[in-house]
Homo-oligomer: A and B are copies of this chain.
Amino acid sequence: MTGLQDALDGRWAHVRQEARKQLAGSHFVAVPGETIEQARARISRLITELPTDPGVGAAFPKEYGGSADPGGSVAAAEMLAQLDLSLMVKAGVQWGLFGGAVVALGNEQHHATYLPDIIAAKLMGCFAMTETGHGSDVQQLRTLCEYDPVTETFDLHTPHESARKDYIGNAARDGRIAVVFAQLITGGKSYGVHAWLVPIRDEQGNPLPGVTIGDDGHKAGLLGVDNGRISFDHVSVPRAQLLDRYGQVAADGTYTSSIENDTRRFFTMLGTLVRGRIVVGGSSSAATKSALTIAVRYGESRRQFTAPGETREITLNDYLAHQRILLTALAHTYALTFAQEELTVALHEVQTAIGDVDEHRQRELESRAAGLKAVQTWHATRTIQACREACGGAGYLAENRLAGLKADTDVFTTFEGDNTVLLQLVAKGLLTGYRDAFGSLDGWGRAAFVAEQVREMVLERTAARSLIQRLVDAVPGRDEEVALTDRGWHLRMFEDREKHLLDGVIRRLRKGAAQKKDRPFDIFNDVQDHVLDVALAHVDRVVLEAFVAGIDRASGDTKTLLSKICDLYALTTIEAHKGWFLEHGRITPARSKAVTGKVNDLLKQLRPRMGELVDAFAIPDEWLNSAILREEVGRQESMAAHDDLLSGR
């Protein structure tokens, strides 16, 4: 285990190491080219064989056999993502979403009754929130659940097709029970969305009366996950099946809750489920690491054109264009790893804190989770695509794994929150300090389930606060005198961009609010691109600060190498936004050109370390399961021998 691996494995290194041992070999690894039936059968079998300690049970309370280690459960999920993304998602549905909802929203009685079987994968369940007609706007779900004090039961009903539950994991095949989200109605009044534990299949696997189950069928990827559709035709649900931690219905139908406001209550309920989003972000990065390992190792052995007059062997990785893609992606992947680690720590601390949850920290956690999920999943989609292309035709064959990684991760940009919606949520959090300026004009959607509560997160420091402030303060006034690799300068550039974009959007919103009072939608929509830029700039800064904190924890050679990777991350990010920096006089044309020169220089310096950088991801060869990695080296050797023969004759 190298220093680099240590730095990446982070606080839950023991969980990761344990997974590398417990799940060693190829037993749990994705099988390319399966039919949907084969994939579902295999994953349904494997899901019952997963170790629960420190694996899928990590997040559950100790009294039910868990280890009360939410951070560890995120790390464990990331490891599953390197084996098989279907397995990760299926586990995420069972233990994260379904089991997590029972823990977070249920009472002691629910816990005692259900958790042991849930943890042991004896009771497979669904998390039935999304509806066909409503993806992102979950507060507006149309499924109804009305209480009748005479029978002391709820009547659960799907009023029309667009209210059917859709894309629900575990629904098409394995789920026996579901946590169903619906509008709670009692005494003729609606109290907003709540959740019930509702059996959907009998022991033999047949749908229960009143329950109609459909199959979402073939998908782009994740074939091992049985997504389906569920509709309810006036299904009777006993009162005790309401997961009533945040809202209770008495036998006579009286509704009580410790949280007065329906919206606030709903978002508090959702807030407890933030872990799912963090797992999706982390899993995307985990898959990205698999793809990069394959592409970099292939590029290391694969010779391209003969270079006339060269005695050196030129491999794909020697090409600047190849480095521009793979090394830059590696640097961003490293950066995101430190940010994900920091986020996981924050999650862990919030969810293991004794006493009342600090609402401010909870909102900040949700915002960070949303932003990092968006950035990590888009990074995954782009990078895995680039890795596929970097391996040419070989990258397209299923046996080389990249096709599967690409297809499986693709949905992550829109599930557990659509990325665009999530970024608006982040921006809204940043804007909240200014909300008096435009009152309740909530035109761009009620996406923001934290919006109303977040306060003053603007430029709040992430980790290593004092270190970062010191670095920023040390930068002299005039940029031209500062080295391009000065960390304080990077930090200041990132911070400046975020701050200025935010100021600008506020100015524009104020102006819009004054001019377009009768068109609230337009006020926000006219600046939506600007709003998304604010969110992205914010996430960029959070990521850079996490990287800086991570470097600070390392030492020796590891520290030096990480610092160089951070230079590449920071400068390629500045380069990507050079238009903005130039428009706003934050950089001179000469310095902007110098940034590109410095990036190319860093690529040259890091070229010999490419292999090392992916080795530090420490993904076992069997997990990579890529035919080209097994074959390419041998091929190149036999070809070289043949060429020697040819040139000798």
Q: Would you call A526 and B392 a contact (CB within 8 A)? A: no
Chain A, residues 19-52, CB within 8 Å of chain B (1/0): the string is 0000000000000110110000000000000000
Q: Specify which chain B residues have a CB less than 8 angstroms from the CB of A415 in the assembled complex.
A: 393, 396
A250 interface residue per 8 A CB criterion: no
Q: Would you call B638 and A220 a contact (CB within 8 A)? A: no
Q: Specify which chain B residues have a CB less than 8 angstroms from the CB of A389 in the assembled complex.
A: 413-414, 418-419
Q: Would you call B639 and A133 a contact (CB within 8 A)? A: yes
Q: Would you call B528 and A396 a contact (CB within 8 A)? A: no
Distance, CA A130 to CA B393, complexed state (A): 10
Q: Would you call B414 and A219 a contact (CB within 8 A)? A: no
Q: Would you call B396 and A136 a contact (CB within 8 A)? A: no
A583 interface residue per 8 A CB criterion: yes
Distance, CA A407 to CA B395, complexed state (A): 12
Distance, CA A575 to CA B307, complexed state (A): 37
A216 interface residue per 8 A CB criterion: yes
Nearest neighbor of A309 in chain B, beta-carbon distance: B520
A171 interface residue per 8 A CB criterion: no
Known: A389-B413, A413-B389, A419-B389. A218 touches B33 (CB 8 A): yes
Q: Specify which chain B residues have a CB less than 8 angstroms from the CB of A318 in the assembled complex.
A: 521, 525
Known: A33-B218, A320-B529, A414-B393. A447 touches B583 (CB 8 A): no
Q: Would you call A397 and B308 a contact (CB within 8 A)? A: no
Nearest Cβ distance between residue A180 and chain B, in whole angstroms? Answer: 18
A635 interface residue per 8 A CB criterion: yes
Q: Would you call A161 and B589 a contact (CB within 8 A)? A: no
Chain A, residues 201-240, CB within 8 Å of chain B (1/0): the string is 0000000000000001111110000000000000000000
Distance, CA A32 to CA B520, complexed state (A): 41
A300 interface residue per 8 A CB criterion: no
Q: Specify which chain B residues have a CB less than 8 angstroms from the CB of A159 in the assembled complex.
A: 642
Distance, CA A318 to CA B142, complexed state (A): 23
Q: Which of A10-18, A118-126, A261-269, A398-406 makes up part of the contact surface?
A: A398-406
Chain A residues 490-542 with CB under 8 Å of chain B are 519-521, 525-529, 532
Q: Which of A54-62, A438-446, A610-618 makes up part of the contact surface?
A: A438-446
A321 interface residue per 8 A CB criterion: yes
Q: Specify which chain B residues have a CB less than 8 angstroms from the CB of A441 in the assembled complex.
A: 309
Q: Specify which chain B residues have a CB less than 8 angstroms from the CB of A579 in the assembled complex.
A: 575, 578-579, 582, 592
Interchain CB contact (< 8 A) of A161 among B442, B583, B638: B638
Chain A residues 388-432 with CB under 8 Å of chain B are 388-389, 392-393, 395-399, 402-403, 406-407, 410-411, 413-415, 418-420
Nearest Cβ distance between residue A33 and chain B, in whole angstroms? Answer: 3
Q: Would you call B381 and A385 a contact (CB within 8 A)? A: yes
Known: A160-B638, A393-B166. A578 touches B583 (CB 8 A): yes
Give 18 new A-B contacts, CB below 8 A, not counting A217-B399, A220-B388: A136-B305, A160-B638, A162-B638, A163-B642, A304-B445, A306-B446, A310-B521, A319-B528, A320-B527, A321-B529, A385-B385, A385-B410, A389-B413, A578-B579, A578-B583, A579-B582, A582-B583, A584-B589
Give me 15 A-to-B residue pairs in the complex whose CB atoms sit less than 8 angstroms apart, sorted by A's number. A133-B639, A161-B635, A216-B397, A218-B403, A308-B442, A309-B520, A319-B444, A320-B526, A320-B528, A321-B528, A393-B411, A393-B414, A578-B579, A582-B589, A582-B592
Closest 7 pairs between A and B when the two form their complex, measured CB to CB: A33-B218, A305-B445, A220-B403, A218-B398, A578-B579, A582-B582, A579-B579
Q: Which residues of A contact B (CB under 8 A)?
A: 32-33, 35-36, 130, 132-133, 135-137, 140, 142, 159-163, 166-167, 216-221, 304-310, 312, 314, 318-321, 324, 381, 385, 388-389, 392-393, 395-399, 402-403, 406-407, 410-411, 413-415, 418-420, 440-447, 519-521, 525-529, 532, 575, 578-579, 582-585, 589, 592-593, 600, 634-636, 638-639, 641-642
